[in-house]
Amino acid sequence: LVAVGEGTRERAFALAETLRDEVEGIRVETNLGGGSFKAQMKRADKSGAMWALILGEQELSEERIGLKPLRNEAEQESIALDELGAVLQDKLDGI
């Protein structure tokens, strides 16, 4: 989970906990050290994650999150935060 901008880290930590409770089989990592967007994306890619969840100030204000595939060329999706758990569960169930 990549969080960049004012107020995003706190929301990201809460979101990570919620996803761990709601989505069976999910592993969610957040970056405690902060860092630039580019640095956090590099860490997400190196972790072997299938997707990066991107939470910036704009996403936070719109109550949405970006879901970027890291292992294929699919387009990034914008998902409502209240639908994220169900979307991720569907994706994990399809693997």
* Residues 22-47, mean pLDDT to the nearest whole number: 91
**Residues 62, 17: Cα–Cα separation, whole Å:** 20
Does residue 34 register a pLDDT over 90? Answer: no
Give 15's DSSP letter: H
* Residues 72-77, mean pLDDT to the nearest whole number: 96
Does residue 33 register a pLDDT over 80? Answer: no
Count of Cβ atoms closer than 10 Å to residue 15 Cβ: 21
Phi-psi region of 35 (alpha: psi -120 to 50; beta: other; left: phi over 0): left
Mean pLDDT (the chain, rounded): 94
